Structure 1
Amino acid sequence: MFVGFKMLQDFATVTPQTLVKDAQKKLEEDKLWMLLVVDEAGELVGYVPKEDIAGALPGVVKAMERLGETVFLDKLTIEDILRRDIRKISPEAEVEAAADMMHEMNLAGLAVVDGAGVILGYVNRDAMLDVLVEEMGFREGGCRITVDVEDKTGVLYEAAGVIANMKLSIISSSTFFKGERRLIVLRVATEDAAPVETALRERGFKLVEPQDFQGNWN
């Protein structure tokens, strides 16, 4: 999966010349937490989060008292408060790379830009969660089966072969480390998991359920 497939293309932008009072209105009307800032050529130059705009408001009040409302509000622009340290990623990047960058840097999102720096979209944590749900096949129905296996070559192929021999389709498959072993999570296109579980056990696979791990979270 590439970032370009999951980026949000319906996003709000402002320019450095946008008045802060207008940016605040846009945030409130569209219920946004940040605005991307682009120049006249459409190139991304930074961003301004909701808290920065809110933080500027006390200054607005004081300035109104000193200078008068019209004078100050007509001069305070996004350029005065924008942040230029926004992280960027290309649409060709793997979505896992975007998720890892966001996790490591504690970011809420990344701007997606082309080779010229022109913004194409935005990918946020909601998009990452949607990828997780999609890759795990949650919306596709079927039955979820979890197998505890030794971390060795060919084990996923063997488990998939058992299911293929039953003429059933695998909706999704994922693997997760659990110590030195792996958990294989399969979502199978069937309403009755019992026959699949029986076949896997007959081939020597260890199936696990949430109750098998209660000691880990009690």
Structure 2
Amino acid sequence: MFVANYMTKNPVTVSADTSVDEATGLMKMNHFRRLPVMKDGKVIGIISDRDISRIAPSPATTLSKYEINSLLAKMPVTDVMSAPIVSVSDEATVEEAALLMCNNKIGGMPVVSSVGVLVGIITETDIFRVFVKVMGLASGKMRVTLDFKDKIGATKEIADVFAKHDLNIDSFVSFNTPNGDSEAIIRGNFPGIEKIKVDLEHLGYKVSHITKIGTL
């Protein structure tokens, strides 16, 4: 899963001398939440609806609507944009992009090529779409949660139980919990789940939750 395959290509951009008023209009018209700001072919910042809301007048302002619009029409985006920017390479994985956005508390960022040219933009919505696709959520899957003590060979032992029942696992994710134990999330089409549950618990894997997500 690479950023280049999930980003929005050829994003709408604004130049450094674009007014805040014009940028706001572009975002509203195209239903965007952010626009890369360009200068001399390079991304120098990004302006978002959050940046614009920071300079929006409060109800207590003494300025008239005409005066406010006049000010925003003159103010360049460089006065309010976020800079320096956090960007990601088009060769990076989606996981790397998600980690960057999480660590920097941002909802989207420009995607640049190896020579620094803007080639796209990736947002939290794109990440959510990848998550839904990878997990097969839209097609309807059963989700089984297992709690267990971490041990070598646990993944194979769990997979063997499903194989014994001639069932295919669509996705398998395991991770450590805060208390030091492990948890596994398994998704797939699992008829006869009660028999599988008995076999898993016999091996020491507690089935703590079963649900179905999607429309299948």
* Equivalent pair of 1:143/1:193 in contact (CA under 8 Å): no
* Equivalent pair of 1:15/1:40 in contact (CA under 8 Å): no
Instruction: Extract unaligned runs of 5+ from structure 2.
Output: 58-62, 211-216
SS at match of 1:168: coil
Q: Give the corresponding residue for 1:48.
A: 47
Higher mean alpha-carbon deviation, 108-117 vs 26-35, is at 26-35
Structure 1 outlier segments of 4+, above 4 Å: 54-58, 72-75
Higher mean alpha-carbon deviation, 26-35 vs 168-177, is at 26-35
Q: Give the corresponding residue for 1:158.
A: 157
Q: Give the corresponding residue for 1:102.
A: 101
SS at match of 1:163: helix
Overall identity of the aligned pairs, in %: 28
SS at match of 2:100: helix
User: How far, CA to CA, are the matches of 2:187 and 2:73 in structure 1?
Assistant: 58
User: How far, CA to CA, are the matches of 1:73 and 1:197 in structure 2?
Assistant: 62
* Equivalent pair of 2:148/2:204 in contact (CA under 8 Å): no
Q: Give the corresponding residue for 1:122.
A: 121
Compute the TM-score of the two structures, normalised by the length of structure 2. 0.78
Q: Give the corresponding residue for 1:168.
A: 167
* Equivalent pair of 2:51/2:80 in contact (CA under 8 Å): yes
User: How far, CA to CA, are the matches of 1:158 and 1:188 in structure 2?
Assistant: 17
Compute the TM-score of the two structures, normalised by the length of structure 1. 0.78
Which amino acid in 1 is paired with 2:182?
R
User: How far, CA to CA, are the matches of 2:196 and 2:17 in structure 1?
Assistant: 62
Q: Is 2:6 the partner of 1:3?
A: no
Q: Give the corresponding residue for 1:216.
A: none
Distance 1:79 1:169, change over 3 A: same
Work out the number of aligned pairs and report it: 203
Higher mean alpha-carbon deviation, 114-123 vs 187-196, is at 187-196
Q: Give the corresponding residue for 2:201.
A: 201
SS at match of 2:81: coil
Q: Give the corresponding residue for 2:146.
A: 147
* Equivalent pair of 1:143/1:192 in contact (CA under 8 Å): no
Alpha-carbon offset, residue 208 of structure 1: 1.4
Query: Greater helix share, 1 or 2?
Result: 1
